[in-house]
Structure 1
Amino acid sequence: MIHVFLLFSLCFSDYGLIQGVTSLGINYGQVGNNLPPPDKVLDLLTALKLSKARIYDTNPQVLTTFANSNIELIVTVENQMLPVVMDPQQALQWVSTHIKPYFPATKITGIAVGNEIFTDDDTSLLGYLVPAIVSIHGALVQLGLDKYIQVSTPNSLAVLEVSYPPSAGSFKGEVSGVMSQFLQFLSSTGSPFWINAYPYFAYKDSPNKISLDYALFNKNPGMVDPYTKLHYDNMLYAQVDAVVYAMSRLGYGGIEVRVSETGWPSKGDSNEVGATVQNAAVYNRNLLRRQMSNEGTPLRPNMRLEVYLFALFNEDMKPGPTSERNYGLFQPDGTMAYNVGLSALATSSSTSSASISLTSSATKASKVEYQSLVYCMFLYLLTFLGFMRRQH
């Protein structure tokens, strides 16, 4: 049995659709006690034709399992390690232990040094950030890996003092000094600025002021930036461009912005407006459609926007409100939290489950692909016959 999203990906991957979405990745969090093992996760990512993933540590089991696969991986230096790896010798030790043994068999393409440090409650971490980034990069240079692995840090959108309209984007004054140092590093190494951008948060905080359709990528009038006259039909692109303008204000207008996290929760507490299965499905489905076009933002229309969905699984051990445990496309048992399929294809009459097997073998995969090909040919034949009838 196969879910409609998997069926779609198998049917059309050779025709440049899912397989052509080189700008799409997914966050593979592991804060749960019931998640499938990494080999089953790899099966799932492979079945979904996703070739980019981000993890929040350097889990040896994941790095080993993902070896010789097609998955490009971003790994993370945990926040508490920043005071350690700011020392160049410690950074070299960290890279020699956590990166070098697995590369290049495991396609590690990025190292996230911390996560949302600029807005972390522990303000002492901010002073360690740039030295840690510089030291990790220096270790990569020393080991000859800097040409293959980029170094950056994901940032919360809360790092902006102003985000609306996009052209007014600016960073908070209290972080501008360290931010300038960070942007200088990104500029000198050609690394991207990673932003964790969630239109859901903005909508939840102001549901009476913000259009739900604008937040969800649905059809809507959008907004026009009064200064640039650029038209925005969705909030995510406006948030990304606000970051570009904020960087430009500090003299760094040429740095690429990538979305390291975005998503929508399928469940929330009573005060978490908009956290529903329906909205989550619509947000991610519409975002995936945009990614299939490899499009850019209004400010940078010719630079395709790289986006990492949050997240692969619902994670039952994450602290905080209910929404924090319900961002996953999948439940830990492999069933889909909701249908994020991109086609109008219906599953065959024998398909009664919204689940996807996480135990596929090579033989089983071949059988599935064959069955899917036959099914696609059958749909094509029906369409062709219908067309012929209309001609008569």
Structure 2
Amino acid sequence: MAMATSLMAALVLLTGLFTANLDVTGAESVGVCYGMLGNNLPSKWEVIELYKSNNIKRMRLYDPNQAALEALKGSNIEVMLGVPNSDLQSLSNPSNAESWVQRNVLTYWPSVRFRYIAVGNEVNPNDKSLSQYVLPALVNIFNAVRSAGLQDQIKISTAIDMTLIGNSYPPSAGSFRGDVRSYLDPIIGHLAWAKTPLLANIYSYFSYVGNPRDISLAYALFTSPSPIVWDQGRGYQNLFDALLDALYSSLENAGQPSLDVVVSESGWPSVGGFAASVDNARTYLTKLISHVQGGTPKRPGKAIETYLFALFDENQKTGAEIEKHFGLFSPNKQPKYPLSFGGERKIWDFSTEHNETISLKSM
């Protein structure tokens, strides 16, 4: 009886540890984008502490801000480091790319845990002044990272937006626009060869507000009680899945069926435009964080690495007013929504030093 009790206790412990590992892995699939276009934002050190205190384990950084990189040292936060579009032409020169990697990556590695380098963000393929430099810059940064022996630790990609998709409905018929194929095909070909995911900024909000007649708010907010769209036997209960699967189909139709996707931005504004409200933003973000742990109908069972946009409201962003109101936190560091990135529920408490915790998040 004592042996049976001990065996049962051991099984329970192993099950609990396995569950804890699953929960932590789920929480870590979600990061937060750190934009700095505000004149009222906290210091870089305060921001890193905000990430740590909220158990946010991944950050998207849009440029190699030296103060932010210094503050990230030893934080254990995984970083997606951006190459600004303004640097693409310079980095099409291999020696400039080597210097960039040395200055902004190798100087900080491994104290800063770089996960990706995003070479350009939402470059318009028809803007030849920029688009012609994306692939050369991407390849040169890749070669510089490979020369340092870090190609398996740091993946080099670029971030696209969903305007590159010409057809997204139904998701299985997803395809890229014809006029972007000459730009995109060599890029995704390189990414597939390098076993690197494509980065994609996916906003259910903009798809919804662009067509509220045909897209319901419940479908956009993950609150539909049943599938809205059926496609080849797959039921789609939310717009996010439909958009991501349309992108997967587009990659398949472009000859890259094995290419994975990281959602490098997603979010919902709290004010400033149609359907922008605190309630809608809270619902979208909360549902998204839990939803991305399970994959899409087309690719089920695998967590979708997702980055929530953005950490703060940014009062110096240009464009539409809503662009200033995507923050998860106000500039005074107070949360706008009760979002959980982990650390709230203790699964095991062996001692005051050893806790396992849980939670989720995304954009």
Q: TM-score range by the shorter chain?
A: 0.7 to 0.9
Whether 1:50 and 2:56 are equivalent positions in the alignment is yes
Give the equivalent residue in structure 2 for 1:237. Answer: 241
Cα pair distance change 1:342/1:207, threshold 3 Å: farther
1:256 and 2:260 are equivalent in the alignment: yes
Partner of 2:167: 162
Query: How much has 1:131 moved relative to structure 2?
Result: 0.9
Question: After alignment, is 217-226 or 230-239 more displaced?
Answer: 217-226
Taking a change above 3 Å as real, the CA distance of residues 374 and 17 of structure 1, as seen in their structure-2 partners, is closer
> Are the aligned partners of 2:80 and 2:118 in contact in 1 as well (CA < 8 Å)?
yes
Mapped partners of 2:124, 2:103: distance in 1? 27
Aligned twin of 1:114: 120
Query: Quick one: distance in 1 between partners of 2:21 and 2:139?
Result: 42
Contact 1:119 1:156 survives alignment (8 Å): no
SS in 2 for 1:21: helix
Q: What is the number of residues matched between the two proteins? A: 330
Separation of aligned partners in 2, 1:29 and 1:373: 26
Q: How does 1:132-147 map to 2 (within 5 A)?
A: 132-147=137-152
1:232 is displaced (CA, Å) by 0.9
Q: Which whole-Å CA distance do the structure 2 matches of 1:169 and 1:20 have between them? A: 28
Contact 2:55 2:341 survives alignment (8 Å): no
Residue 16 of structure 1 deviates from its aligned partner by 5.9
SS in 2 for 1:184: helix
Stretches of structure 2 lacking an aligned partner (at least 5 in a row): 1-18, 348-363
Distance change (3 Å), C-alpha of 1:225 and 1:86: farther
Q: Secondary structure at the match of 1:117?
A: coil
- Give the partner amino acid of 1:93: S
Within the alignment, does 1:223 sit opposite 2:228 as a pair? yes
Deviation at 1:222, TM superposition (A): 2.6
Cα contact 2:54–2:341 (8 A) shared by 1:
no
Residue 252 of structure 1: CA displacement?
0.5
Q: Secondary structure at the match of 2:308?
A: strand
* Displacement of 1:188: 0.7
Identity across the alignment (%): 36
Query: Compared with structure 1, are the counterparts of its residues 304 and 15 closer, same or farther at alpha carbon in structure 2 (3 Å cutoff)?
Result: closer
AA matched with 1:29 = G
Structure 1 CA distance, aligned partners of 2:323 and 2:229? 32
Q: TM-score when scaled to structure 2?
A: 0.86
Q: Hey, what's the Cα distance between the residues in 1 that align with 2:25 and 2:227?
A: 30
Residue 362 of structure 1 corresponds to: none
**Structure 1 residue aligned with 2:336:** 337
Shift of 1:182: 0.5
Q: 5 Å matches for 1:201-220?
A: 201-220=206-225
Shift of 1:338: 3.0
SS in 1 for 2:82: strand
Q: What's the secondary structure of 1:114's corresponding residue?
A: strand
**Following the alignment from structure 1 to structure 2, what is the Cα–Cα distance between the partners of residues 23 and 51?**
9
User: Which runs of no fewer than 5 residues in structure 1 stay unpaired?
Assistant: 1-12, 344-371, 377-392
After superposition, the Cα gap between the structure-2 partners of 1:183 and 1:20, relative to the gap in structure 1 and judged at 3 Å, is: closer
Aligned partner letter, 1:232:
Y
Residue 198 (str. 1) matches residue 199 (str. 2): no
Paired residue type of 2:286: R
Pair 1:287–1:18, CA change in 2 (3 A): farther
- Tell me the TM-score normalised to structure 1 length: 0.80
SS for the counterpart of 2:28 is coil
Name the SS for the 2:133 alignment partner.
helix
Whether contact under 8 Å (2:269, 2:281) holds in the other structure is yes
Cα distance in 1, alignment partners of residues 330 and 181 from structure 2: 40
**Inter-CA distance 235–374: structure 2 relative to 1 (3 Å threshold):** closer
- Shift of residue 339 of structure 1? 3.1
The one-letter code sitting in structure 1 at the alignment partner of 2:277 is: T
Partner of 1:93: 99
Alpha-carbon offset, residue 289 of structure 1: 2.0
CA–CA distance in 2 between the matches of 1:308 and 1:85?
A: 26
